[in-house]
Chains A and B, each alone.
Chain A
Amino acid sequence: MAAHDTLERQQEQQLTEAIRVAVPERSLRHDLRAVSIVWRRELIRFRSDRLRAVTSLVQPVLFLFVLGTGLSRLAAHGMPAGIDFKTFIYPGVLAMSVLFTAIFSAASIVWDREFGFLREMLVAPVRRWAIVVGKCLGGATVATFQGIIFLALAGVAHVPYSPALLLTLVGELLLLSFTLTAFGVMLAARVKQIQAFMALTQMLVLPMFFLSGALYPLAGLPAWLTVLTRIDPLTYVVYPMRHAVFSHLSVSPATLNALSPGLTWFGWPVPIGLCLALVAAMGVALLAVAIAEFQRTE
């Protein structure tokens, strides 16, 4: 009996000793661990929310099949022979497939605030940038993943499954998703009601899509529309994506010129690299603003 008691006490002691936890001084490694867990949480939540993955595919699928098929007969007059209208709008609709998911990921910050979980994150002994960066990476990953699902439908739009093309498109989707999430997170720092957030993003997303040249070529437009398309950030992703798709099709230079003309600023052709660099720079700038804003909130 006595021996049994001592054994138990020993075990208890071991347990207490084993769990002596000392929270370490703050370090970069610790901050990176925070980035990683915030990121992983987004993935876990996306995985458990299959409905969201399905519903966010509805819009792009509608655009591609219903709008694409419906308009193709009308568009056929303007289309070079042998090119499907669906092929033409595919890159733009692909960009759209990540648009909503990326911004909805940012909306989860507004939810987190409403349900209190944001407070659990903000009171932790980590730098705020770690939380914001984790959130943006998480949103970007989830949205890119969504884009990849839509990418699987490329064949239906007669876009070839070439590894080089797919890789380019995934890279461009990732860049776009990251910038969009950063934009959403920046907005979420200020807009604290979910309804207001949704209304505001709805108001921004559709014009951005329509002005991006997703549904029409960027050349020969009236002056006012030319200016607006050049201001729309989405243009600088849709153009490189369409360029990538068309350079993997075997089409005549005339067709290429009609459907995927170069993007110009006052007649100067903007290189693809610069377009992508612009989007990346915008993403980093938005991220910086988002971090600064979260630094200030209680």
Chain B
Amino acid sequence: MTPAISVSELTKRYGEIDAVRGIGFEVPTGETFGFLGPNGAGKSTTIKILCTLADPTSGTARVAGHDVVKERDTVRRNIGLVFQDTTLDSYLTGEQNLRFHADLYGVPKAAFAPRLRQVLEMVGLWERRGSVVATYSGGMQRRLEIARGLLHAPRVLFLDEPTVGLDPQTRDAIWEYINDLKKREDITIFLTTHYMDEAENCERIAIIDHGKIVAMDTPEALKASVGKDRVQISTADDQEAIRALADTFGIEAAMHEGRVTFSVESGEQFVPRLFAGLPVAIRSVSVSRPSLDDVFMSYTGKTIRDAEASIADRNRAVAARFGRR
């Protein structure tokens, strides 16, 4: 069976910036596949290429068995899309937005009414279908976009940060819809996120950083591959603590998120030895099981929040240079 998505050696340059630097992966039909990475990693760029909205600089990509450059229209007929930024017409009602979509995608007229009802009921907006979209909350707009993306029964659904900016309850609700959808329809889902906990919902994830895939597997396998617990301590003298950890225990520690951070085999058993052996006063300790953040850290040498902070710094530096914003 042909995979729903297959990508090889894909690159995309925007002038000076290498947004995507040679990625390759396959997503089998029916899978929920996630792209996890910090801001600016190249997630949206990859989605744009897969959805035929941008041409790759080099490499190939096939979606639903069709080339995204040579068979644009066939690809477009087979995909549903929810962009990172909303693309609704806020002057139209929910139903009018969906009708517009149905006509653009050539959904058979007889199928429209029942399908409309089905997708709107699924996201809980059937009662509000007559209201103008400007009166919807952020979460409702997001749900309406998901319903719209599903209206023409696509084989592959792309969701670019489907829950960004939403409160935790709404995020959970959207994940319920997505999981429910998997049961009802024969559909492959490709999504991007920079929320760790959200990536756990995917069957398989690829961790992407600076336009490259640094790891790809099931969330469980990725976490197991790290194997170690993460210990973070705050001390009276962090530099001294890092030196002492290296001298006394042979452990390489570094500052992350403002605390001394390192990985050890079994964290709970190590903590008493730490208190006994460290010459610096310890203020607090936390031990955590390997998370996807640790996976990210073990492949890139930084936590995802560090990565986002450094991107923010870089942007600020760029903005300062041009004297704007």
* Residues of A participating in the B interface, judged by any CB pair closer than 8 Å: 15-16, 18-24, 26, 30, 33-34, 36-37, 41, 44-45, 48-49, 112, 115-117, 119-126, 298
Contact = CB atoms under 8 A, between A and B. Distances in A.
B106 A19 contact: no
B152 A23 contact: yes
Q: Which 8 interchain pairs have the tightest Cβ spacing? A: A37-B103, A116-B87, A125-B76, A124-B104, A21-B153, A30-B106, A19-B115, A120-B87
Contact of B107 (A15, A23, A44, A121): A23
A68 B180 CA distance: 67
A125 B92 contact: no
A120 B97 CA distance: 10
A24 B152 CA distance: 10
Given A30-B106, A125-B73, A298 B99 contact: no
B70 interface: no
A41 B92 contact: yes
A22 B112 CA distance: 11
Q: Interface centre among B51, B52, B104, by most A CB within 10 Å?
A: B104
B77 A120 contact: no
A63 to B, nearest CB: 30
Contacts of A49: 91
B88 interface: yes
Contacts of A23: 77-78, 105-107, 152-153
B106 A119 contact: no
B51 A19 contact: no
A48 B91 contact: yes
B75 to A, nearest CB: 9
Given A26-B73, A125-B77, A44 B105 contact: no
Contacts of B114: 15, 18-19
A119 B118 contact: no
Given A21-B111, A116-B85, A125 B106 contact: yes
Contacts of A112: 89
A19 B132 CA distance: 25
Contacts of B101: 120, 124
Interface in B142-185: 151-153, 184
Contacts of B151: 21
A33 B115 contact: no
14 contacts: A15-B114, A16-B184, A21-B151, A21-B152, A23-B107, A24-B106, A34-B103, A44-B91, A115-B86, A116-B83, A119-B53, A119-B87, A123-B76, A126-B104
Given A16-B184, A44-B96, A116-B86, A121 B73 contact: no
B152 to A, nearest CB: 5
B86 A121 contact: no
Contact of B89 (A19, A20, A117, A126): A117
A115 B90 contact: yes
Contacts of B132: 48
Contacts of A115: 86-87, 89-90
A298 B104 contact: no
A37 B53 contact: no
Given A24-B106, A123-B53, A45 B91 contact: yes
Interface in B63-96: 73, 76-78, 81, 83, 85-92, 96
Contacts of A123: 51-53, 76, 81
B54 interface: yes
Contacts of B103: 33-34, 36-37
Contacts of A37: 99-100, 103-104
B37 to A, nearest CB: 22
A37 B89 CA distance: 13
Given A15-B118, A123-B53, A125-B77, A117 B104 contact: no
Contacts of B88: 116-117, 120
A298 B44 CA distance: 14
A16 B185 CA distance: 9
A101 B73 CA distance: 34
Contacts of B86: 115-116
B83 A33 contact: no
A20 B112 CA distance: 10
A15 B118 CA distance: 8
B108 interface: yes
Nearest to A31: B106
A127 B172 CA distance: 38
A2 B114 CA distance: 27
B115 A124 contact: no
B106 A33 contact: yes
A37 B114 CA distance: 20
A298 B106 contact: no
B153 A20 contact: yes
A122 B96 CA distance: 18
B104 A121 contact: yes
B111 A20 contact: yes
A45 B90 CA distance: 10
Contacts of A117: 87-89
